[in-house]
C-alpha cells in the first residue's frame, strides 16, 4: 500500500469507527428536515410540474448532506490533529503535498457520498424521486464533495482552535448551503435575491444534482457543471499551494 493510500485508509477509518456520529446523525437530521418541511409545505408548494414538494426536497437534502459532511471530514481531521499534536507523525512521513491532498479530499468524498446515500435511501422511502439522468447525479455529487473536501482542507489549515473552525462553518458553509435552493427554487425569490443566488457556487451544485433526478432545473446543467468545475479547480489550487508551503503546519 502506497503512502497516500495509507493516509486515505486512516482517514476513512477515522470517520467510520464513529459512524453513528459521522454518518447516522446527519441522516437523522436530514430526515427531520424532510418530515417537517414536507409535512408543512406539501399542500402549499409545487416547484416543478408533476413533482411533489416532498420529492423535490429529496435531492436538495441529499446534496446538502454530501457537502456539509465532506467539509466536516477534512476540516475536523486537520484541526483535531493540530490541537492534539498527532499531526507531527504525518509530517514525519515522506508524503508529498499531492498525497496529502488526494488522501484528505478522497476520504471527504467517501464520507460525503456515504452520508448522501444514507439520506437518499431513507428519504426516498417517504417520497420516491425519479432518475432522469443518473450520470449528472453522480458527477455533481463527486464534484461537490471534492470541492467541499478541498475547502475543508483550507479551513483546517487556517484554523488554530475549534471556535475558529466553528465560525468558518457557521458563517460561511451553513449560509451558503441553506441559501442555495435546498428548500425552494430561486425563481420564487425577488429579483435581487435571484441575482445574489447566482453568485453562490453551492446553488449550481444542488441545481445540477437535482436536474439528474427530474430533468428540470433553474439553469442549464452544463452551466452548473462549468461553474462547479471552475470552483473546484480554484479551491483545489489554493489547498495544494497551502499544503506545499506547509501553511501553519510546519515551523
DSSP label of 18: T
Residue 1 has pLDDT above 70, yes or no: no
pTM of the model: 0.93
Banded model confidence at residue 191, pLDDT cuts 50, 70, 90 = confident
CA distance 114 to 183: 22
CA torsion angle 95 101 106 107 (round to 10): 70
Asked whether 18 and 110 are in contact (CB, 8 A), the reply is no
- Percent helix, strand, coil in the chain (nearest 5)? 80, 0, 20
Q: Which of 102, 80, 81, 104 is nearest to 92 (CA)?
A: 81
Rounded to 10 deg, the angle between the 221-245 and 201-214 helix axes is 130
The dihedral sign for the CA sequence 110, 104, 228, 23: positive
What share of the chain in percent tops pLDDT 70? Answer: 98
Q: Which of 66, 103, 64, 110 is nearest to 81 (CA)?
A: 103
* Beta carbons within 8 Å of 104's beta carbon, 6+ residues apart: 7, 11, 74, 77, 78, 149, 152, 153
Q: Grid coordinates representing 243?
A: 499544503
Average of per-residue pLDDT across 80-107:
90
- Residue 69: the pLDDT is 96
Residue 104: C-alpha distances to residues 3, 21, 145, 155, 226 (Å): 12, 19, 11, 13, 24
Banded model confidence at residue 251, pLDDT cuts 50, 70, 90 = low
Asked whether 80 and 162 are in contact (CB, 8 A), the reply is no
**Angle made by CA atoms 82, 84, 86, in degrees to the nearest 5:** 75
Mean pLDDT, the chain, whole residue set = 91
Q: What is the pLDDT of residues 12-21, one digit of tens each?
A: 999 999 999 9
CA distance 242 to 75: 14
- Residue 44: the pLDDT is 66
Q: What is the pLDDT of residues 99-155, one digit of tens each?
A: 999 999 999 999 999 999 999 999 888 888 788 999 999 999 999 999 999 999 999
Amino acid at each position: 500500500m502506497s503512502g497516500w493510500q495509507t493516509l486515505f485508509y486512516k482517514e476513512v477509518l477515522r470517520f467510520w469507527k464513529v459512524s453513528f456520529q459521522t454518518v447516522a446523525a446527519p441522516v437523522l437530521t436530514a430526515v427531520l428536515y424532510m418530515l417537517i418541511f414536507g409535512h408543512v409545505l406539501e399542500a402549499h408548494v409545487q416547484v416543478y410540474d408533476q413533482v411533489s414538494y416532498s420529492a423535490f426536497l429529496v435531492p436538495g437534502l441529499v446534496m446538502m448532506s454530501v457537502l456539509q459532511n465532506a467539509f466536516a471530514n477534512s476540516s475536523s481531521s486537520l484541526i483535531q490533529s493540530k490541537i492534539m499534536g498527532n499531526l507531527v507523525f504525518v509530517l514525519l512521513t515522506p508524503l508529498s503535498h499531492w498525497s496529502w491532498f488526494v488522501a484528505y479530499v478522497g476520504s471527504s468524498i467517501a464520507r460525503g457520498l456515504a452520508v448522501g446515500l444514507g439520506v437518499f435511501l431513507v428519504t426516498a422511502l417517504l417520497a420516491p424521486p425519479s432518475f432522469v439522468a443518473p450520470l449528472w447525479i453522480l458527477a455533481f455529487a463527486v464534484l461537490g464533495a471534492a470541492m467541499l473536501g478541498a475547502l475543508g482542507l483550507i479551513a483546517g489549515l487556517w484554523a488554530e482552535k475549534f471556535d475558529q473552525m466553528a465560525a468558518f462553518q457557521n458563517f460561511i458553509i451553513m449560509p451558503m448551503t441553506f441559501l442555495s435552493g435546498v428548500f425552494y427554487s430561486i425563481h420564487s425569490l425577488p429579483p435581487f435575491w435571484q441575482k445574489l443566488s447566482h453568485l453562490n457556487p453551492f446553488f449550481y451544485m444542488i441545481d445540477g444534482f437535482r436536474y439528474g433526478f427530474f430533468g428540470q432545473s433553474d439553469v442549464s446543467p452544463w452551466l452548473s457543471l462549468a461553474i462547479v468545475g471552475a470552483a473546484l479547480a480554484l479551491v483545489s489550487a489554493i489547498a495544494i499551494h497551502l499544503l506545499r508551503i506547509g501553511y501553519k503546519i510546519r515551523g
